[in-house]
Copies of this chain bind each other. A is one copy, B any other.
Amino acid sequence: MEPIFDLAIHLPRKGSRDLLRSLHRHLRDAIIDGRLQSGVRLPPTRELAAALGISRNTAVAAYDLLISESYIETRQGAGSYVAIPRSRTLTAAARRSEPEHRPDARLNAYWRDQRAPDDGASSGGLRYDFQLGTPDMALIPFSIWQRLSARALRALSRQPLVEPEAHGRPELRAAIAQHVSFTRAVACRAGDVTVTSGAQQAFDLLARTLVAPGGTVVALEDPGYPPMRAAFAAAGARLALIPVDEEGLVVSRLPKETRVVCVTPSHQFPLGMAMSLRRRDELLAFANARKAVVIEDDYDAEFRFGGRALDALQTLDSAGSVIYVGTFSKSLFPALRLGYIVAPPWAHGALAAARRIATGDCAVLAQDTLAAFIAGGHLARHVRKVRRVYAARRQVMEAKFADDLGEWLEPIHGHAGLHLAAFVRGRLNADSIARRARQAGIGIYPLSRFYAGGVTRQGLVFGYGNISGHDIADGLEQLARLLRRGK
């Protein structure tokens, strides 16, 4: 038979837990990138397993996942083939021989045309990936976490019963209340805190409890954060997309029938500026006058650089209009999936009831470990440490922008966070810059993917949470070279 692949597949050592995941991703990325062309026949699993020195089960499972994701398809008795390019109208001929993706009438109309979210190709092929939304895994104090986790598990094992809690584990609620009071000046007690499965669940619970399908106008920043938009859209909100300027959300553009406003006041996502004090006052005045609710998504405010961070918007609220959402995805790691809501009393019952129906309590072991991690001062120490690292990376980035990229890119000033956004000067197209950069192994992210309405500014977003200072410098130099070359 033909050579297995003209692919270099580097797998972790045999027996490692990562084997299946790595193989799956290698094959998938190769198909996305075109290294494995559509119509190419893949080797039978037995041969693949032998060639790579892995178990047949692993090979079967990898192919199976790719089939379910429509990257490959099986032809009766004739093997597995790379599927025709994903045109959004095809799905693999799976076990039940459905050759085309037909929106199924058994599904609610909203979900009928949804496809599994495209997680996108991994960084596998990128030399310099300025990825967003992810902190540096190498900085995380896993050994402390491990020790506290083991202790929490022992404590759990000694209890005859672990009862579900409406708002999450009491110790964690108390720890979060202290943490957020101290670090963000958020006024709250343990009783105001609801633990959630990541900030995403916070948005989802808020969308479900605040939105009457078809009737509730929810205002969102544009450009903004797509997963939050998705939560409100799924709940049936009427979305009002509001522009932002150098002071943040343009409050004067809020429709008067707005019932919910979602903002990222510490560090606008994705542009990065802080919401001015003037706009904060305007927004709260609007909310109080119209009995609207403001949702403050404070997603990475701990990572301030250069001076004191602005207090949370919630601190200015004396009328119970602001609901604050926080997360541990950036200060710890996203895979932890713990976030929280700090809400005024009128929302407590509804949030607990909705949470119970959505998932019930979050995983208890993780909650207890996090509570101990916070209460033992480890979170504060960790944030202080990584803040310096990220601040240094920010400086490298800003210096490179000033020295090498000023001709094409105009960075947007911010106080905090793990990414920097820059407008593109002149008539350049950000999406095409990003595409060319990707081909050169540089991962940068066009602003267009964050607009839900029309793309009013061309820009690019550069994360620095998960790339070293050295790679930041090199990567941006290469970008400058690329920009200089290709007009």
Show the binding face of A for B, using Cβ within 8 Å: 16-18, 20-21, 24, 57, 61-62, 64-65, 67-69, 91, 94-96, 98, 101-102, 104-109, 111-112, 114-117, 119, 122-123, 131, 134, 137-138, 140, 142, 145-146, 149-157, 159-167, 169-171, 173-174, 189-192, 197-198, 200-201, 204, 208-213, 216, 227, 230-231, 234, 236, 259, 291-293, 320, 333-338, 344-350, 352-354, 356-366, 368, 371-372, 466
A-B residue pairs in contact (CB < 8 Å), sample of 15: A16-B155, A17-B171, A18-B155, A18-B159, A20-B174, A106-B291, A107-B350, A137-B156, A137-B161, A140-B157, A146-B153, A149-B150, A200-B357, A234-B357, A337-B362
Residues on B with beta carbons closer than 8 Å to the beta carbon of A198: 359-360
Add 4 more A-B contacts to A122-B163, A137-B161, A200-B357 (CB < 8 A). Answer: A18-B155, A68-B189, A68-B345, A137-B160
Residue of B nearest to A203 (CB): B357
Q: Is the CB of A201 within 8 A of B105?
A: no
**In whole Å, how far is A411's beta carbon from the nearest beta carbon of chain B?**
25
Given contacts A142-B153, A145-B153, contact A114 B190 (CB under 8 A): no
Q: Is the CB of B149 within 8 A of A162?
A: no
Q: Is the CB of A152 within 8 A of B107?
A: no
Q: Is the CB of B234 within 8 A of A117?
A: no
- Complex CA gap A471/B221 in Å reads 60
Residues on B with beta carbons closer than 8 Å to the beta carbon of A69: 191
Residues on B with beta carbons closer than 8 Å to the beta carbon of A363: 197, 335-338, 362-363, 366
Partner of A117 from B153, B166, B173, B320 at Cβ < 8 Å:
B166
Which 6 residue pairs of A and B lie closest in terms of their CB atoms, listed nearest first? A68-B191, A114-B353, A335-B364, A116-B352, A111-B350, A142-B157
Residues on B with beta carbons closer than 8 Å to the beta carbon of A356: 117, 200, 227, 230
Partner of A61 from B105, B163, B174, B333 at Cβ < 8 Å:
B174
Residues on B with beta carbons closer than 8 Å to the beta carbon of A161: 122-123, 131, 134, 137, 466
Given contacts A137-B157, A204-B357, A362-B197, contact A116 B210 (CB under 8 A): no
Residue of B nearest to A320 (CB): B96
